[in-house]
Amino acid sequence: MKTTTTQRFLARCFCLLAVLALLAGCATTGPPPTPTAQNTLRVVPERQWPLLLDDLSARSLFQAAESSLAYLRRVSPDKKFTFGPFQMTAAQMAAMLEEVEDLLYRLPDPVSRTHALQQKYVLLESVGRDGRGEVLMTGYYEPVLAARRQAQGSFEYPVYAMPEDLVWIDLRQFGEEYPAKRLVGQVKGHRVRPYPDREAIDFKKVIEGKAEVLGYVSDPVEVFFLHIQGSGQLEFEDGARRRVGYASSNGQPYRSIGKLLLNQKLMEPGSMSMQGIKAFLEANPNHLRRVLSHNPSYVFFRPLPVTGGPLGCFEQPLTAGRSVATDRRLFPGLTLGYITGTMPAPGGGSEPLARFVFNQDTGGAIRGPGRLDLFFGSGPQAGELAGRMKHPGRLYFFFPRELMKR
């Protein structure tokens, strides 16, 4: 059947409308905006607040609060902290934490405390990794590793202090036209070069004799995960312990060995955990060098006091279950937060998670508004739980209502 002029015109109109609809759909489903400190938090309407339960002891809450306050009381009172589109000073944040401490002490009932906090604060939620608030929560801990002061038998894998030839370069010192970025390098022949990667340091021994060794461990995989955790304790034969904490990295990018093992189908998603990776490498030592070297990032340590907890990025002790690490570029450090979701239960399975936390740390792998690392404490039990922690959840922060009006 022949088409008429009118039919051809209508067909062209329908094609044009279809193209316009497709373009409109593409416009609304394009890539999300680049995360910044201003666009990663949004105000939660009061009717959508979670009931502010808390599944840990009040003592740990006040201990974590005092850790943040110790920092806030010694810095400039005018130091600024960014909460999405809002800001507050160190003095204002200290006043908020003191007020919240008092309020939570007086109001242990979740309904009463939720109502009281709603009167004084707005609740800000992370936009998450999906734009709708989902945050992937993982865990970290402080390992306690058997060690020797000198290389001895199987104890041959060093925990290095910062090497003598490592240099930091702040580009902004060379002019405001350069980005605010710090490079890590090595000076050789009057030239600054990238610092050697994990393969060169661990397997080619290129910095042997150039860095103090804080202790020797018997398992290279344990040293690798010590780097991932960022701090730990070395326990020597006589029972003495040395706490070591992050001093610097080699400036190389972090790459996940878990993703490598999954992509190469050497492990299944259901078995992917710190314990699973350790078990795989123990059973397949022929893969060890290649897998560990996949992550070129390398951490150097410094001695820390053994008393108290390990230090977070603000040089304040962390509190088990209360301290979290987030992307420091996006979220306000030290402040009070709240998280909900699930977490590993001792002995297997999972259990609900709902508690107040303090944003007191960061990490090389914790990037974007959809990531959070929960500190589980020290020792093997904390490690077992942290290694299994990979659950979706939600992340919130509190901000004084009166400061929004200014």
Contact 123, 49 (CB under 8 A): yes
Domain extents in the chain: 35-141+310-406
Could you tell me the end-to-end alpha-carbon distance of the chain, in angstroms, rounded to an integer? 72
Residue 348 has a pLDDT of 87
Q: Is 35-141+310-406 in CATH node 2.30.130.40?
A: no
pLDDT tens across 352-400, in order?
Answer: 999 999 999 998 778 999 999 999 999 889 999 998 999 999 999 999 9
Amino acid 406: pLDDT = 61
Considering only CA atoms, give the Rg of the chain: 25
Distances in whole angstroms, Cα of residue 310 to Cα of each of 39, 102, 132, 303:
31, 26, 33, 11
Rounded to an integer, what distance in angstroms lies between the CA atom of residue 119 and that of residue 114?
9
Residue 247: name the closest of 300, 197, 184 by CA. Answer: 300
Q: Are 40 and 326 in contact (CB under 8 A)?
A: no
* pLDDT averaged over every residue in the chain: 89
Predicted confidence (pLDDT) per residue in 144-180, tens digit: 999 999 999 999 999 999 999 999 998 888 888 888 8
Q: Which sign does the torsion angle of CA 25, 31, 36, 40 carry?
A: positive
393, 341 in Cβ contact below 8 A? yes
CA 166, CA 145: separation in Å to the nearest integer?
26
Crossing angle of the two packed helices 380-388 and 274-283, in degrees rounded to 10: 100
Look up tokens 């005092």; give the residue: 66
Q: 82 is written with which tokens? A: 């960014």
Task: Kindly report the three-state secondary structure assignment for every residue of the chain.
Answer: CCCCHHHHHHHHHHHHHHHHHHHHHHHHCCCCCCCCCCCCEEEECHHHCCCCCCCCCHHHHHHHHHHHHHHHCCCCCCCEEEECCEEEEHHHHHHHHHHHHHHHHHCCCHHHHHHHHHHHEEEEEECCCCCCCCEEEEEEEECEEECECCCECCECEEEEECCCCEEEEEHHHHCCCCCCCEEEEEEECCEEEECCCHHHHHHCCCCCCCCCEEEEECCHHHHHHHHHHCEEEEECCCCCEEEEEEEEECCCCCCCHHHHHHHCCCCCHHHCCHHHHHHHHHHCHHHHHHHHHCCCCCEEEEEECCCCCCECCCCCECCCCCEEECCCCCCCCCCEEEEEEEEECCCCCEEEEEEEEEEEECCCCCCCCCEEEEEEEECHHHHHHHHHCEEEEEEEEEEEHHHHCC
Element holding 220 (H helix, E strand): helix 220-229
Residue 4 has pLDDT above 70, yes or no: no
Query: What span, in angstroms and rounded, lies between the C-alpha atoms of 228 and 325?
Result: 13
Dist. CA 163–CA 184, nearest whole Å: 12
* pTM (2 d.p.): 0.79
The single-letter DSSP state of residue 278 is H
Please tell me whether residue 355 adopts helix, strand or coil conformation. Answer: strand
Crossing angle (nearest 10°) for helices 274-283 and 220-229:
160
pLDDT digits (tens, 9 = 90+) for 178-231: 888 889 999 888 899 999 999 999 999 999 999 999 999 999 999 999 999 889
Distance separating alpha carbons of residues 329 and 38, to the nearest angstrom:
10
Which has the minimum average pLDDT: 22-26, 115-119, 126-130, 167-171? 22-26
Report d(CA 5, CA 371) in Å as an integer: 59
Q: What is the pLDDT of residues 31-79, one digit of tens each?
A: 556 788 888 999 999 999 999 999 999 999 999 999 999 999 999 999 9
Facing residues of 249 across strands? 299
